[in-house]
Amino acid sequence: MRTDWTSLADFIARHERFLVTTHVRPDGDALGSEVGMAGLLRQKGKDVRVVNASQTPARYDYLDPSGTLFEHFGSTVHPADLADRQAIVILDLSSWSQLGDMAEFVRGFPGSRLIIDHHVSQDDMGAIVLKDTSAEATGSLVAKAVKALRCEFTGEMATGLITAIAMDTGWFRHPSTSPDTFRTAAELVEAGANVSEIYKLLFERNTLGRLKMMGGTLCGIQTDFDGRVVYTTVTRDDFDRTGAIPAETEDLVDFTVTVDGADVGLLFIEQRRGGVKFSVRSRNGFDCARLARRFGGGGHKAAAGGMIPDPLAEHLPRVLDAVREQLTEVIKQPDPATDRSTRSVLAPAENR
């Protein structure tokens, strides 16, 4: 899909002081896209502040080497500090709930809003929406915007954008990865992105706590629906026992769906403030976003998630019931449009 970037060019031309933000618990795509967008806006001579509802997870510190780019709403930045902002660019999200503690501020913001995103789920946020659900990452869209608006990739922007694309494509291996993904990646590498160094910074700086937590979580893995559903949990006690922190659960859900015969994988994480965060991954056409929407969450077909205020003991069986229901539905009524992708769900597990 080709995005028409003229509305972004107009939006940028009309304002001087920008606020860039993204979703709570930001991932590589969220933060890397912000780095790219901040660079683009600065090249256009604009004043930019990047303010997020969540703190930046430590593993992404390299995206902001001087520690001056990412600001935290609520601790260092208060609504009054942002009174001079004329426009907000919202990246990698399209729902109010994903703005966390910043939702109220953004709702009441008197200036203009623009969204660049690739998620299916969408609220009316009163914004210009530049959305391409076929894009592998918001970072790819920002990279396209940089080129469409005749800006250059600085080394810093290239590092941010390749992080965004690499993380959302599982390092160039998810089905969303296309020849175009590599063409964009090649340009970013030429502009100074060091893939080998970035990979080391992201994946070879595990804490002992994270490895112990992973060990416990993988030991606790369980199956349902003839092995087609694989799930596990991280409890508050697991965090206390191992010393891991919630941000260190990123990517952990991906292990669940690697079990041979699994169509759906889930991870349930008990939150310190109460409630449970759930993440779901699928293969063979199960629609994760649809499942997540039933519990107020959202995401993509193959990866989604959400948060439920109930305790784990109540939450987990309800989500599993919904997964079983949705899997049964797929088996009974294959959608002809997605028949190819759901065929293996229909086939007996042992024949796959």
**Beta partners for residue 234, in sequence order:** 269
What is the smallest separation between the CB atom of 283 and Mn ion, expressed in angstroms? 19
Provide the 10 A C-beta neighbour count for residue 229. Answer: 24
Q: Looking at beta carbons only, is 156 or 168 nearer to Mn ion?
A: 168
Provide the 10 A C-beta neighbour count for residue 128. Answer: 16
State the residue number with the nearest CB to Mn ion.
Answer: 29
What is the smallest separation between the CB atom of 51 and Mn ion, expressed in angstroms? 19
| CA dihedral (61, 66, 71, 72) positive or negative | positive
Is there a contact between 92 and 117 (Cβ–Cβ < 8 Å)? Answer: yes
Residue 136 touching Mn ion (CB under 5 A):
no
Q: Which stretch binds Mn ion (CB under 5 A): 28-36, 226-234, 240-248, 344-352?
A: 28-36
Contacts with Mn ion by CB under 5 A: the residue count is 4
Q: Looking at beta carbons only, is 29 or 238 nearer to Mn ion?
A: 29
Q: Looking at beta carbons only, is 138 or 163 nearer to Mn ion?
A: 138
Q: Looking at beta carbons only, is 130 or 230 nearer to Mn ion?
A: 130
Burial label for 188, CB within 10 Å (0-12, 13-18, 19+), is buried
Q: What is the largest CA-CA distance in the chain?
A: 62
Residue from 12, 29, 120, 287 touching Mn ion (CB under 5 A): that is 29
Q: Looking at beta carbons only, is 174 or 290 nearer to Mn ion?
A: 174
Q: For the chain, where are the E strands, in sequence order?
A: 17-22, 47-52, 70-72, 87-91, 112-117, 128-131, 222-224, 229-234, 264-270, 276-282, 298-299, 303-308
Length of the chain: 352
Q: Which stretch binds Mn ion (CB under 5 A): 51-59, 97-105, 166-174, 265-273?
A: 166-174
The site string for Mn ion over 80-99 (x = CB under 5 A, - otherwise) reads ------------x-------
**Cα angle at 304 between 299 and 308, to 5 degrees?**
105
Nearest Cα to Cα of residue 93 among 293, 299, 250, 237:
299
| 38 contact partners, CB below 8 Å, separation of at least 6 | 20, 48, 50, 69
Q: Looking at beta carbons only, is 127 or 323 nearer to Mn ion?
A: 127
Chain position carrying tokens 């200036």: 111
What is the smallest separation between the CB atom of 23 and Mn ion, expressed in angstroms? 9
Residue 168 touching Mn ion (CB under 5 A):
yes
What is the smallest separation between the CB atom of 300 and Mn ion, expressed in angstroms? 8
Nearest Cα to Cα of residue 55 among 100, 114, 90, 87:
100
Residue 71 touching Mn ion (CB under 5 A):
no
Q: Looking at beta carbons only, is 29 or 248 nearer to Mn ion?
A: 29
Q: Looking at beta carbons only, is 168 or 270 nearer to Mn ion?
A: 168
What is the smallest separation between the CB atom of 118 and Mn ion, expressed in angstroms? 6
What is the smallest separation between the CB atom of 247 and Mn ion, expressed in angstroms? 17
What is the smallest separation between the CB atom of 25 and Mn ion, expressed in angstroms? 12
Q: Which residues bind Mn ion (CB under 5 A)?
A: 29, 92, 138, 168
